[in-house]
């Protein structure tokens, strides 16, 4: 079993990523840390607890940061719905998270699974930055950190150049990029090009007929509407699920590139942009592996297996 720690701002795509991990036979989810992002923290905690219950999992869910390191929180409820899960009336309240903070749980998990822990981040990097600041030695204990974030084509989804997770807390991204952790980025470009679920595919998955299959599709209601009207995709995209699929099976990546990445902090038009030195013009040592093309077919197969 491979120990995974998942940090999430639990909304409709995060939930499907959790399903993929919680249902995978090779993965032991040793902890789920929740961070404010798509929705306010408490909503994200309830969404994670609901998803865990639906998967029949006992993986601990820990409460993390209620906002970015220094900024006020900007959510994506305009994309995922007020409850983050498509506003379809799910009973998303009244569940109790596990004791202890997400930051301390991540630090403990790194030390208890030294050299083996695979960290997958699905939201802003606030919790991870706080953990690295509290105990910089975890960098040497974490095997790899797969980040759903940034865009290798620099075409953003929340501003012209920034992807949402990086935009929410760019100062946290800066801390993580400088930490020395083994970083692998799966950007929103991979989502919109290789994890866009068209209506016939959505119907095919839902027709599997299991509670998880129906849940995984039905909670995408709000994001499907947003994609149709705003991002003008041919369906809804699943950024966190394809990042999770890659974390579990790296052959999901058809092409990758080692690059030097730098986060734009501050409040200008490029806030949250993660500049990627594709041609090596800075002559700076690469600090991340970036997936530059994903395999839609393999992703669909993994998603289908997870909900069947
Ligand atoms: O930009 C996409 C990312 O922002 C995904 O993680 C989605 O869940 C939102 O957090
Ligand atoms: Ca997310």
Q: Where are the domains of the chain?
A: 2-307
Does residue 163 have its Cβ closer than 6 Å to ligand 1? Answer: yes
Does residue 13 have its Cβ closer than 6 Å to ligand 1? Answer: yes
Q: Which atom of ligand 1 is nearest to the CA of 13?
A: 8
Residue with structure tokens 């959510």?
Answer: 75
**With pLDDT > 70 as the criterion, what percentage of the chain qualifies?**
100
Does residue 165 have its Cβ closer than 6 Å to ligand 1? Answer: yes
Q: Ligand 2 centre and the CA of 240: distance in Å?
A: 6
Q: Is the pTM of this model over 0.95?
A: yes
pLDDT of residue 21: 98
Residue of 16, 51, 149, 189 with the most ligand 1 atoms within 8 Å of its CB, for mutation: 149
- Which CATH number fits the domain 2-307, given the four candidates 3.90.245.10, 2.40.50.140, 3.40.630.10, 3.30.70.270? 3.90.245.10
Of the pLDDT bands very low, low, confident and very high (cuts 50, 70, 90), residue 96 is very high
Residue 109 CA to residue 155 CA, distance in Å, equals 35
Stretch 217-239: mean pLDDT: 96
Does residue 157 have its Cβ closer than 6 Å to ligand 1? Answer: yes
> Over the stretch 264-281, which tens digit does the pLDDT of each residue have?
999 999 999 999 999 999
Of the pLDDT bands very low, low, confident and very high (cuts 50, 70, 90), residue 176 is very high
Mean pLDDT, rounded, of the chain: 98
């Amino acid at each position: 079993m491979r120990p995974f720690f998942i940090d999430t701002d639990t909304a409709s795509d995060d939930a499907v990523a959790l399903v993929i991990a919680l249902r995978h036979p090779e993965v032991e989810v040793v902890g789920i840390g929740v961070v404010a992002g798509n929705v306010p923290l408490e909503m994200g905690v309830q969404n994670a607890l609901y998803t865990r219950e639906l998967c029949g999992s006992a993986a601990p869910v820990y409460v993390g940061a209620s906002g970015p390191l220094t900024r006020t929180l900007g959510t994506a409820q305009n994309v995922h719905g007020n409850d983050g899960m498509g506003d379809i009336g799910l009973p998303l309240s009244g569940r109790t998270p596990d004791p202890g903070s997400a930051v301390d749980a991540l630090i403990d998990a790194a030390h208890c699974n030294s050299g083996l822990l695979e960290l997958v981040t699905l939201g802003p990097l606030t919790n991870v930055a706080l953990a690295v600041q509290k105990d910089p030695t975890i960098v040497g204990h974490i095997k790899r950190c797969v980040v759903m974030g940034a865009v290798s084509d620099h075409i953003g989804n929340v501003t012209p150049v920034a992807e949402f997770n990086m935009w929410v807390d760019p100062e946290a991204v800066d801390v993580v990029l400088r930490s020395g952790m083994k970083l692998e980025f799966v950007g929103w470009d991979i989502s919109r090009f290789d994890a866009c679920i068209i209506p016939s595919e959505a119907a095919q998955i839902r027709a599997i007929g299991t509670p998880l299959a129906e849940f995984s599709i039905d909670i995408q209601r709000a994001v499907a509407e947003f994609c149709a009207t705003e991002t003008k995709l041919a369906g809804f995209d699943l950024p966190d699920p394809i990042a999770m699929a890659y974390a579990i099976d790296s052959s999901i990546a058809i092409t990758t590139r080692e690059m030097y990445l730098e986060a734009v902090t501050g409040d200008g038009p490029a806030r949250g942009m993660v500049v990627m030195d594709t041609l090596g013009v800075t002559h700076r040592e690469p600090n991340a592996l970036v997936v530059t093309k994903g395999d839609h077919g393999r992703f669909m197969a993994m998603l289908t297996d997870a909900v069947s």
